Amino acid sequence: MTCKKAILKRLSDAIVKLDIDSIPRLCEEAIEAGIPAYEAVIGGMAKGMEIVGQKYEDGEYYLAELIMAGETMKEGMSILGPYLRGGDVGSAGRCVIGTVKGDLHDIGKNVFASLLKAQNYDVIDLGVDVAPEQFIEAVKEHEPDIVAMSALLTTTMGEMENVIAELERHGLRGGVKVIVGGAPMTQEFAKKIGADAAAIDAVKGVRIVSQWS
């Protein structure tokens, strides 16, 4: 295993093992080894988050582990962030993101936002339990390229359709791409409510958004 692969593997393992104490040192090690910060995020920490997500689906990890994995990744991003934003690379785009009204889940949303920032996007995170009018106000104020909505509860998925309806009512829909995310999402659902795409996890969502740039 090459030095680069070994470092990326250690980053991934630290996320899976919820090793929040070691992640800053490992991120610094990656930078010192000349690994681009974005690659450390996608090829290291995000890979770990994929494994954590699978363990959660398999019943091996629970909500507490998911939250801790998200906090571990956030700790790593605090080290890699300045390198991701450094240089004279222009913004790849702007995204308004939020978990829809009635839903308080934010792990997937937070990971998605972190990964978008890693790709040099400006991210306006509205948080959780975001009402349609809050999305509209943010779109008017920030003029984003993308509106990203997250939901984990099937009972709140209908709020996504309400947001899109409000975007259309205010004449804002044509100016943005809309992606919906969360475990229950399907392309069929996205098409039904008028969204451009759906993603069941943060990594897939970022891949879709990257293709729009």
Q: Do residues 137 and 78 both lie within one domain?
A: no
Looking at the structure of the chain, the number of domains it has is: 2
Start-to-end C-alpha separation, the chain: 34
pTM to 2 decimal places: 0.69
In this predicted structure, what is the pLDDT of residue 141?
97
Which of 22, 50, 85 marks a domain boundary?
85
Q: Give CA separation, 17 vs 7, 46, 208, in Å.
A: 15, 13, 28
Q: Which pLDDT band holds residue 46 (cuts at 50, 70, 90)? A: confident
> Percent of the chain at pLDDT above 90?
58
pLDDT of 24 over the 50 cut: yes
In this predicted structure, what is the pLDDT of residue 1?
60
Q: Do residues 181 and 103 both lie within one domain?
A: yes
- Give Rg (Cα) of the chain: 17
Q: Do residues 154 and 69 both lie within one domain?
A: no
**Least confident piece of the model among 66-70, 100-104, 193-197, 204-208:** 66-70
Q: Do residues 34 and 110 both lie within one domain?
A: no
Q: Do residues 128 and 187 both lie within one domain?
A: yes
d(CA 85, CA 186) in angstroms, rounded, equals 32
**Can you give the residue range of the structural domain that contains 61?**
3-85
| CATH at residue 65 | 1.10.1240.10
The more confidently predicted of residues 59 and 1 is: 59
Most confident of 85-94, 113-122, 186-195: 186-195
Q: Do residues 195 and 141 both lie within one domain?
A: yes
pLDDT in tens, 130-180: 999 999 999 999 999 999 999 988 999 999 999 999 999 999 999 999 999
Continuous segment of H or E residues that includes residue 168 = helix 158-169
Q: Do residues 75 and 125 both lie within one domain?
A: no
